[in-house]
Chains A and B, each alone.
Chain A
Amino acid sequence: MNFPFERHTLPNGLRVLIQPDNQTPMVAVNLLYNVGARDEDPEWTGLAHLLEHLMFEGSKHIPFYDQPLQLAGGINNAFTNNDITNYYCVLPAANLRTALWLEADRMCNLNLSEEKVEVQRKVVIEEFRQRYLNQPYGDLLALTRELSYTQHPYRWSTIGKSIEHIEQVPVSVIRGFYEQHYAPNRCILVLSGNLDPQQALREVEYWFGDLPSRALAKKKPLPAEPPQTQARLQQVFRPVPEAALWMGWPMPGRNHPDFKALDLFSDVLSGSAGGYTMDELIRKRGLLNQGGFYVSGSADPGQFLFSATLREGKKNQEVAQEIQAFLFEIAEERLHADDLHRATQKMATSNAFSDANVQNRALRLAMAEWLGGAESLSTEWDEYASLGVADVQAAVRRYLKPECSSTLLYETETNA
């Protein structure tokens, strides 16, 4: 990243990153809260995401969140994943203050009324239906999580395990979750855009400085996933036009030294139309209609993943065996320094592409800070570029073993 930034920590624990750019008329305000689906009680899953919806329903002093921001010419949105909940606003730089005012108030003064909760329950249930129940392959993600994780809370999706959890979670539980996880000392605030850093810091201090630092209960340690020693296999039949295949192998979390080697390997395999997936699995062997390899990229140990739909007539289990062999064939026999060079060249362009607008830039800074320090953005690419073939091969041998795989055969009902 070519954009310098400043870091400050307020006395209440709020970490603030400020990144000026005088070539844009906008400013992005990004708040990353250190809470995600992994922090939920298994009895009440989907809570972090439901709360994300409720954060837009007004706070004690500001009855509507969206309207004042729209009046200031801004947009906003948010997302929740298993690790974090992230909120952002983008608005004309002169109105930065409006975003800070709104965000400061909902950080500690959210209005969680019964009425607002009931409406958002309905909205989230419709989201559940739209994305996961009423969609071909919609349950695939939930099935694969349950197959891959036996202990760690990554075993459920952000939307929740079931509609019943969203329908029935008591308002008192939602309030408790909010009070436990939303506070200045659980948040990273990033400002990126057309601003003067000193003035911006003064504004942040004004709006956030008096918010109380909560004496938050220390996050309870999450159950570690036990090492996988046996391959897992599940077969389901669904009314879909083509069979799908999903495979996963446990791999380290984002900050582990081996993460980058496996991430780079997935790019080599599937990050380009000239990659091995397209050339071998789709073009030459004719196994897949579409699909590829990627990494889950979670903070705790995650998964190296493969997901695809199959060409007509291909047998799911045979393709799964071929995929497992393919990984080692590429790593051991065909991987070349030029493959790694090509992948890192594309990565450099992708990063620059991402940094071309303030919203992405603010999010990248927040994520990197959360993972250990935003300075890593200036050295990250060099670390990828310094990896050699032997590094990737070692990681493949260590993590992508057949006995560590989980395989979901998602069959069409006509094959039942």
Chain B
Amino acid sequence: MPNPYPLQAPAIDLSQAPDFPEFELQRLPSGQVLNLLARSQNPLSKLSLRYSIGPEWLGRPYPLNTLVQLLGEGTEQKTAVEWNAALDRCGAFVQKSVNRESLVFSLVCRSQNLAQALPLFREMLMESSLNEDEFDMQKELQISDFMQESEQVSEQARRLSSNYLFKGHPLFQEEQLPELQAMNLEQVQASYQALMLGQMPEAFASGIEPGDLAPLNAFLASLPSHAGQETRIKPWSIPAAADLHFAMPGKSQQAIRVVGPAPFAQMQEELTFRFMLVLWGGYFGSRLMKNIREEKGYTYGINASPIRFKSAAYWMVNTQINGGKKEETLTEMRREAQRLMQGDVGAEEIETVRNYMAGSLARSLDGVLNRHDLLMGLQGLGYPANYLPMRHQSLFEIGAADIQAAAQQWINPELWVSASAG
């Protein structure tokens, strides 16, 4: 049938919740527990190991960043080139990440090469040489990065904000150049002994063929077998409101970072907060994007996002704006927050945000690697196994009054810490 103009909008269908996957807990013959996701059409396997950063190493980012960089840069048996060449022959990658609470190393390769790549992965984790030359080079590169980043308005706004917000808290010691310059190899070796050789990591695997369980069992059995230390630290709370500025003459733009408190509680309260934050500034159609980018044209982009650790939660808004428009931008941000606090939100906007978030949840399940990362992240933050279906269901229960209450509690401009640079 021909399609006459004007075109009619098609009906929307979000009635069907996606299938929410869960890790299957497999106890291997060695006694190790493996969180396992089923094989998919994609020929890749991914094995992730998560090491907890115990109390001794919290708030010491430089030795840990350097440790992460040095792993794979030479082992007791191979030089850095030899080890990397062997890994390349398997077509394998190692992804490394360090956040303030954990270190994560992931081996990614085609499933057919997993058994071949596992011994190399083990060598990196358990037999890294951490030698002086590699350490000196990594330290120099980190100092170089620090200096490069110092020229960026966004980085200076970030540092200014973090130095004020997290001063003295063990989780968030802010990086400073003198500490980086003073770092030595012994600190890195000590962190390796304590964190990598001294504790059993959590293991997560995806895209594993049944025949690969035996080499995985052998691999995991060769890692330390005692659990790491649970980190218990006092929860962080946001300090008094402030408006900070770092002058960088000659820059044509300013970076702004605004931070506020976020709920710790799981499930409904946190979901309502996230919903409100997305509506305010967390997607392309948000209030902040529409007002500050699409109507005023002050910026290329502005984004509000929730940040969540085990012992801290907050939100932040980041933007980079036309240098003369800082006050106007902050005024509009406050205005949009106040509108939400006054309950100025309609049913159509709520429906759009709800559907957008439902779609985002489904998108995070697209492909085995996305599923792997999502589930591992949720488990790391202590969310229950039924979090995803409950989150999906909760989206359909949030109304205008919930959004107004969340806005009043969490994005009141009187609570903001804003930092700018430029």
- B-side contacts of A239, CB under 8 Å: 151, 250
Contacts of B293 in A (CB 8 A): 123
Contact in complex: B147, A67 (CB < 8 Å): no
Query: Known: A134-B320, A311-B140, A352-B43. Is A279-B81 also a contact (CB below 8 A)?
Result: yes
- Whether B12 and A72, one on each chain, are in contact in the complex, defined by CB atoms closer than 8 angstroms, is yes
**Cβ proximity bits A341-382 to B, threshold 8 Å, 1 near / 0 not:** 111011111001101111000000000000000000000000
CB distance from A199 to the nearest CB of B (A): 14
Chain-B contact segment, one of A18-26, A182-190, A295-303: A18-26
Given A67-B352, A283-B80, A346-B91, also A91-B359 (CB < 8 A): yes
Question: What residues of B have a CB within 8 angstroms of the CB of A345 in the complex?
Answer: 88-91
Stretch of B1-9, B191-199, B339-347 that contacts chain A: B1-9
The reply to whether B320 and A130 form a contact with Cβ atoms under 8 Å apart is: yes
- Point out the residues of chain A lying under 8 angstroms from B18, CB to CB: 25, 92
Question: With the chains together, A257 CA to B170 CA distance in Å?
Answer: 57
Q: Which residues of B contact A275 (CB under 8 A)?
A: 84
Question: Contact at A61–B6, with CB atoms within 8 Å?
Answer: yes
A94–B294 alpha-carbon span in the complex (Å):
29
Q: Which residues of B contact A97 (CB under 8 A)?
A: 10
Give the interface size class of chain B. Answer: 35 or more
User: In the bound complex, how far is the Cα of B43 from the Cα of A341, in angstroms?
Assistant: 19
- Selected contact of B251 from candidates A120, A134, A210, A353, CB within 8 Å: A134
Interface centre among B5, B81, B320, B369 (most CB of A within 10 A): B81
Residues of A within 8 A of B44 (CB): 349, 352-353, 356
Residue in A25, A60, A76, A338 whose CB lies within 8 Å of B362: A25
Which of B29-37, B50-58, B214-222, B296-304 forms part of the interface with chain A? Answer: B296-304
B109 CB to nearest chain A CB (Å)? 6
Q: Which residues of B have CB within 8 Å of A342?
A: 85, 88-89
Complex-state Cα separation, A26 to B321, whole angstroms? 34
Q: A98 at the A/B interface (Cβ < 8 Å)? A: yes
Q: Is A237 among interface residues, defined by CB-CB distance under 8 A?
A: no
Is A122's CB under 8 angstroms from B297's CB? yes
Interfacial chain B residues near A21, Cβ < 8 Å: 41
Report the bound CA distance from A293 to B91 in whole Å. Answer: 20
- Known contacts A2-B43, A21-B41; decide if A129 and B87 are in contact (CB<8 Å): no
* Residue in A73, A134, A355 whose beta carbon sits within 8 Å of that of B253 in the complex: A134
Evaluate whether A348 and B12 lie within 8 angstroms (CB atoms) in the complex, with A25-B362, A70-B284, A341-B89 already known. no
What sequence of 0s and 1s flags, for each residue 88-114 of chain A, a beta carbon within 8 Å of any chain B beta carbon?
Answer: 001110110110010011000000000
Q: How many pairs of residues, A versus B, come closer than 8 Å at their CB atoms?
A: 227
**Which of B3, B10, B90, B251 gathers the greatest number of chain A CB atoms within 10 Å?**
B10
In the complex, what's the smallest C-beta–C-beta distance from A119 to chain B, in angstroms?
A: 5
Q: Which residue of B lies closest to A242 (CB)?
A: B144
Give per-residue flags for A278-299: 1 if the beta carbon is below 8 A from chain B beta carbons, else 0: 1100110010011000000000
Q: Which chain A residues (44-103) contact chain B, with CB distance < 8 Å? A: 60-62, 66-68, 70-76, 90-92, 94-95, 97-98, 101
A57 to B293, CA, bound (A): 12
Complex-state Cα separation, A62 to B5, whole angstroms: 11
CB of B386 within 8 A of chain A? no
> By the criterion CB–CB under 8 Å, are A73 and B355 in contact?
yes
A274 touches B148 (CB 8 A): no
Question: Which A residues are in CB contact (< 8 Å) with B141?
Answer: 289-290
Most B-side CB within 10 Å, residue of A123, A274, A289, A343: A274
Q: Cβ of B321: which chain A residues have Cβ within 8 Å of it?
A: 126
Contact with A along B35-76 (1 / 0, CB 8 A): 000001111100000000000000000000000000011000
Chain A min CB distance to B19 (Å): 7
Nearest opposing residue in chain A for B93, CB measure: A349
Closest to A24 in B: B366
For the complex of A and B, list the 3 residue pairs with the smallest distance between their C-beta atoms, beginning with the closest.
A73-B359, A274-B84, A122-B297
Some 22 contacts from A to B, beta carbons below 8 A apart, are A21-B41, A23-B41, A25-B362, A26-B363, A62-B7, A75-B284, A75-B359, A94-B15, A95-B10, A123-B297, A123-B299, A124-B300, A136-B148, A241-B147, A242-B147, A279-B80, A282-B137, A289-B144, A345-B89, A353-B108, A357-B369, A357-B370
Contacts A66-B284, A342-B88, A358-B366 supplied; 6 other A-B pairs, CB < 8 Å? A73-B355, A75-B360, A136-B151, A136-B152, A283-B137, A289-B144
